[in-house]
A = this chain, B = another copy of it.
Amino acid sequence: MDFEKVGQELHQFAAGLYPICRSITGDGIRESLARIKSLIPLQIFEVPTGTQVFDWTVPKEWNIRDAYIADGAGKRVVDFRQSNLHVLNYSIPVHETMPLRKLKPHLFTLPAHPDWIPYRTSYFKEEWGFCLSHNQMLAMTDCDYEVCIESSLEDGRLSYGECFLPGSSEQEVLISSHVCHPSLANDNLSGVTVAAFLAKLLSGRNLQYSYRFLFIPGTIGAITWLARNRKSVGRIRHGLVLTCVGDAGGFHYKKSRQGDTEIDRAAAHVLHHSDESWEVLEFSPYGYDERQYCSPGFNLAVGCLMRSVWGTFAQYHTSADNLDFIRPLSLAKSLRVCADIVNVLENNYRYRNELPYCEPQLGRRGLYQSTGGQAGGEDIMARLWVLNLSDGKHSLLDIAERSGISFSILSEAAEILSDKGLLSKVSEDERIGTTGVIARDECNLRRS
C-alpha cells in the first residue's frame, strides 16, 4: 500500500464531508450518505419519525438553515455560517431579543481551551443553545442580543446507509461507523472514511464472509438498525466499530463483551505485528455503538478500533478536532490495519497435516535447508509450526498466537505446504457455516 498516496485520498474524502452540518437526522446526514455512495454501492434507508425501536422512538427530523447571536448593532458575534458547532445540535427554533443574563444559561463554552468551540447536543430534551469559544463569551457585554436559530424539528425520517458485499458464506462481518457528528474530523469522519475505503478495497475481491458496512447515526441509528434487522443479526460472526482512527496517536482496540472472540484475537494479533504502538482495552458498556451490539440480548462479537480513545484527548468534541488533527498517514495505516484484520478473518483456516506421524521430509521437497548443522530461518519455522499444530483443531490464528510468527507468514507457509499435498483444509462449511442460522436474539436470554 502506498501510504502517502492512499492517505491523501482518504484525507480529501474526509475534507469533502467536513463542512456539512450533520445530526442524527436531517439533510446533513443525507448529503453525507450521498457522498459515500459516490465511492461505494450504498443502499439508503429512511425510517419515519415515531417508529418504535426497542425502548426508543425515532425522533423528529431536525434541519437548520441559519443561526446567530447578533449585538445591538446587528453584528453577528456568534455565527452558524462560521462553524456548525456553534449551534447546540437539535436546537429548537428561536428568535428573540434578550439580555446576556437571560441568554447565558443557553451558552456552552470551554474555559480550559478559551479559543475552542465545544460540541454539545440535546437530542431528547427540547432545548436551544449556542456553543462558542470562551473568549467569544468574555467579549460579550451586558447589552441585549438578538438570538436566532432558523431550525425545524418536525415529523420526518432517520436516514442511514448500508453497503453490502456478498461473500461465499451468508455469515457476515459487520463494520459500523457513526456519521451523525457535524464538523468533527477524528470523531468521526476518520471512521466513516476508513470504513468507506475498506469497502471499496474489498468490493473487487472474492470474499469468504459477506461484509456489511453501516453508516448510521450513533446510538439511535444502531438501535434502529438492530430493531429492523433483529431476525438476521445472528448471521454476524465478527464486527468492528470504527471511530477516531485519524489522529497521530497509537492504536487502541476495545474488546467485545465476550472478550475472547476471533475478532478480538485477530485485532490484537494484527496490532502486535504492526509497526505502531497499540494497546488492547477491556470491554466497558460505554463508548460508541459497540454498546448496542454488545447489549446482553445481542452480545455480538463486535469490538471497537480507535487510535486515541474518545474523551481522552483535549480536542475531543471541540472545534479543534478539525482537518489538521487528522493525518493522511494515520488514516492510511488505519485502513491497512483494518484490511489486515479482514485478511486474518478471511484466511483463518484450520488444516490437517496429511503426514502427521513424524515430520514429513521437507528437504526433498525443497522446503528445508540442505546443509545440516545450522538453524533455518523464519520461513522454515513457519512451515514446522503449521505442520506441528495442524491437527484439524488449531486455526492459523491459534498457531500465530502460540508461535509468535505473524499470520501472514504462516498463511503463506500453509499455502506452500498445501500445494505440496502436505496439508488439507478443513472444509469451509465446517469453518464458517454457509446455511441460515437462527437469529441469535431468538435463542438468547430465554428463561427456559
- Interfacial residues, chain A to chain B (CB-CB below 8 A): 53-56, 89, 108, 118-125, 219, 222-223, 226-227, 230, 257, 282, 284-286, 291-292, 294-299, 311, 317, 352-353, 355-361, 363-364, 370-376, 381, 384-385, 387-392, 402-403, 441, 444-445, 447
Contacts and interface: CB of A to CB of B under 8 A. Distances in A.
Which of the listed residues A53, A121, A291, A372 has the most CB atoms from chain B within 10 Å of its own CB? A372
Contacts of A403: 284
Contact of A358 (B226, B356, B376): B226
B375 A286 contact: yes
A54 B295 CA distance: 53
Contacts of A445: 352, 356, 391-392
A388 B120 contact: no
B361 A55 contact: yes
Contacts of A295: 356-359, 387-388
A388 B282 CA distance: 14
A211 B364 CA distance: 35
A391 B257 CA distance: 12
A120 B371 contact: yes
Given A54-B355, A55-B358, A124-B363, 10 more contacts: A122-B371, A285-B381, A285-B387, A285-B389, A292-B358, A294-B388, A296-B353, A296-B388, A296-B390, A296-B391
B317 A370 contact: no
B296 A54 contact: no
A67 to B, nearest CB: 17
Which of the listed residues A55, A360, A447 has the most CB atoms from chain B within 10 Å of its own CB? A55
A355 to B, nearest CB: 5
Contacts of A89: 372
A220 B358 CA distance: 10
B317 A122 contact: no
A181 B19 CA distance: 75
A357 to B, nearest CB: 4
A55 B447 CA distance: 48
B55 A384 contact: no
Contact of A372 (B120, B298, B356, B390): B120
A219 B371 CA distance: 14
Contacts of A285: 359, 381, 384-385, 387-389
Which of the listed residues A121, A373, A387, A402 has the most CB atoms from chain B within 10 Å of its own CB? A373
Given A311-B375, A357-B295, A370 B125 contact: yes
B389 A296 contact: yes
A284 B376 CA distance: 13
Contact of A374 (B298, B317, B373): B317
Contacts of A358: 53-56, 222-223, 226-227, 292, 295, 297-298
B356 A296 contact: yes
Contacts of A374: 120, 317
Given A284-B403, A392-B447, A361 B56 contact: yes
A321 to B, nearest CB: 12
A373 B441 contact: no
